[in-house]
A and B are shown apart, each in its own frame.
Chain A
């Protein structure tokens, strides 16, 4: 069933020699996560009348993660290449464009920092505009208008329809 995945991976013929070293980074991350899970569990106190206690589960989960991270590192070095996710708008024949991803993360971080101060109506509009711009849209004025329509409409929909007042921020009293 997987044969229908489009498009074909171009480097398939030289698969035997190709390594995906980035997987080692993932393995390191898993190792850290597993180890931290175990260390965190040692700080827990075991209550009496609880023969299992809160430690066992994290011990098991953490140690298995450590084992899996080693297995992944070995598999990566032996030339095991992951099958990246395909999708309707995904073009795997092109090299990854991490700049766009970094811009989007920046836009989200900006939203996180400003949403309480500026309020959802303004922060949300900026989120939409910034994200569209990061993804390559060059119709700035149209995006700003669309962003404001979306954010103000969602503010009122949540306030009137669901009774949830999203943060008004500096527009307090105007909305």
Chain B
């Protein structure tokens, strides 16, 4: 109940007419950028961060919340209308969503996605309201050794559990950790990996790194492989849901939310697993099994809700521990740091008004999203027809503008180009992006905690396992990484057929 009254205060301070205007602008910009093909939510948020630069904290948060949910919703629009999901979390939405669109039910697919996102986003944000303070109050007592263990856990899980090639995952992670080293050492003030330049010694701007890897890297990759044949785009009418659609959607919305939120809140959960599980669950539970594979509305409603609930769930570790677990969350962390806010256990007690304003802004942004975007859906669909040369030229333009505007230094555009080329190489060589971004962001934090822990023990490494929680976390990491292959080996012992698969896993 305490949380609710604090949220009420947050709503009161967030819901002024001026702030609502910023939220609306954020929703519009976020959806606009998110709908553009080739741009996922993480990229939309990174590209639009500079827009919030000159605003005061509250307004920036509110606009940011709009951008966040808008970018997510825009991504699902693209996957329903184009059948080529921009990110793995939308794969499930695209399966049934595009089939619905082809049967002339694009409007219903977009509507169930929008309402489902709204319900999941609202319930998920309320979940954050209840869980984040509880987790933070436990986390306040966590010492440096356990904190170090938890960062190791989130990095290892994201790298080893997600993605198809572990080797490439770890390459991405350690490249990210290396990028995170660039700049002044936080303890001794000596520049590392700075090539004698002051701009590098000043530490890299995470936004420049993220925009380079996500936006410019993607644009260059697309440029090398631009599809010359136009895609099939389904025209959209006014989105609405018939009585039957409502009846069939509400169950999947709620079940998707229940699946998505916990997966978002744990490291390495991400949105892929819950969207997949939600799709399977709806396929099992549906009264219209014959429609699955031919455009069943449940197959859009469930995964879309799971996707949004998991996005809200990622805010629990982000706000309570300062741990981002998805690419979008890591960019949000960078944005918060830009305002001098360090998410972590202390944030809830030291700057509660900020946290509650942010959470209230998310609720407002989510509501505006529904109000604004349902009527605008046909207009968004038209964005998919922008000619590709101009579209990607625009992405290059805005990426450069974003990098340049922060310090007005052409060197930042140069850095953007360097990271863009790195992003291009990563896409060419199948190296995942998420471990790299997490490495950049969590690397410095990890090093700080490691040195803190070892300074207390005067350099003895036994301090790292000096707390029970740290030991538990390390055991969990070993189980999570070694467990699945071990189980597979025990089950498949004696049969030769699984050997090549196992080999593939090792590489």
Report which A residues bind B (CB closer than 8 A).
Answer: 1-2, 4, 6, 22-23, 26, 30, 33-34, 36-37, 40-41, 44-47, 49-54, 56-58, 61-62, 64-65, 68, 71-72, 75, 78, 80, 82-92, 94, 96-98, 100-101, 104-105, 107-109, 111-113, 115-116, 120, 124, 127-129, 131-137, 143, 146-147, 150-151, 154, 158, 161-164, 166-167
How far apart sit A115 and B218, CA to CA, in the bound complex (Å)?
23
Interfacial chain A residues near B231, Cβ < 8 Å: 88-89
Contact between A108 and B225, CB atoms less than 8 A apart: no
Stretch at the interface among B108-116, B291-299, B318-326, B449-457: B449-457
Q: Across the interface, name the chain B residue whose C-beta is closest to A134.
A: B223
**Smallest Cβ distance from A74 to chain B, in angstroms?**
9
- The segment from B118-126, B168-176, B466-474, B478-486 found at the interface with A is B168-176
Closest to A45 in B: B190
Closest approach, in angstroms, between the C-beta of A101 and any C-beta of chain B? 5
Docked pose: A135 CA to B223 CA in angstroms: 7
Please, how many angstroms separate the alpha-carbon atoms of A35 and B458 in the complex? 29
In the bound complex, do residue A68 and residue B171 qualify as a contact, i.e. CB atoms below 8 Å apart? Answer: yes
Are A71 and B167 neighbours in the complex by a CB distance under 8 Å? yes
A54-B187, A64-B174, A131-B392 known; A166-B404 Cβ under 8 A: yes
Contacting residues, chain B, for A101 (C-beta < 8 A)? 220, 223-224, 424
In the complex, A101 Cα to B177 Cα: how many Å? 27
Specify which chain A residues have a CB less than 8 angstroms from the CB of B492 in the assembled complex.
none
Q: Taking the complex as formed, is B238 at the interface, i.e. its CB lies under 8 A from any CB of chain A?
A: no
Of the residues B168, B226, B404, contact of A136 by C-beta under 8 Å: B226
Q: Does B495 contact A (CB under 8 A)?
A: no
In the complex, which residues of chain A have a beta carbon less than 8 angstroms from the beta carbon of B88? 1
Evaluate contact between B396 and A108: CB separation under 8 angstroms. Answer: yes
The complex places the Cα of A4 from the Cα of B54 at a distance, in Å, of: 42
Q: Contact at A84–B459, with CB atoms within 8 Å?
A: no
Q: Mark B301-316, 1 if CB is under 8 A from A, else 0.
A: 0000000000000000
Residue from A61, A72, A88, A146 in contact with B82 in the complex, judged by beta carbons closer than 8 Å: A88
Report yes or no: A61 in contact with B181, Cβ–Cβ below 8 A. Answer: yes
Residues of B within 8 A of A57 (CB): 177, 181, 443, 447, 450
Which among B252-260, B344-352, B408-416 touches the partner chain?
B408-416
CB distance from A107 to the nearest CB of B (A): 8
Question: Which B residues lie within 8 Å of A30 (CB)?
Answer: 171, 175
Q: Which residues on the B side are within 8 Å of A84 (C-beta)?
A: 427-430
B401 interface neighbour in A64, A129, A154, Cβ under 8 Å: A154
Say which one of B135-143, B328-336, B368-376, B383-391 lies at the interface with A.
B383-391
Interface string of B212-238 (1 = CB under 8 A from A): 000000111111111111010000000
B307 to chain A, nearest CB (A): 13
B residues in contact (CB < 8 Å) with A: 37-38, 51, 53-55, 78, 82, 84-86, 88, 91-92, 94-95, 164-165, 167-168, 170-171, 174-175, 177-178, 181, 185, 187-188, 190, 192-193, 218-229, 231, 272, 276, 387-390, 392-394, 396-397, 400-401, 404-405, 408, 410-411, 413-414, 416-417, 420-421, 424-425, 427-431, 443, 447, 450-451, 454-455, 458-459, 507
Residues of B within 8 A of A162 (CB): 51, 53-55
Q: How far is the CA of A108 from the CA of B223 in the complex (A)?
A: 14
Could you tell me if A166 and B405 are in contact, using CB atoms closer than 8 angstroms? Answer: yes
* Structural contact, A50 and B404, CB atoms closer than 8 A: no
A72 & B167 in contact (Cβ 8 Å cutoff): yes
Assess whether A104 is in contact with B221, with CB atoms less than 8 Å apart.
no
Q: For the complex, what is the distance from the CA of A21 to the CA of B163, rounded to whole Å?
A: 22
Complex A-B, nearest 7 residue pairs according to Cβ-Cβ distance, in ascending order: A51-B459, A162-B54, A82-B430, A137-B389, A131-B393, A135-B389, A132-B393
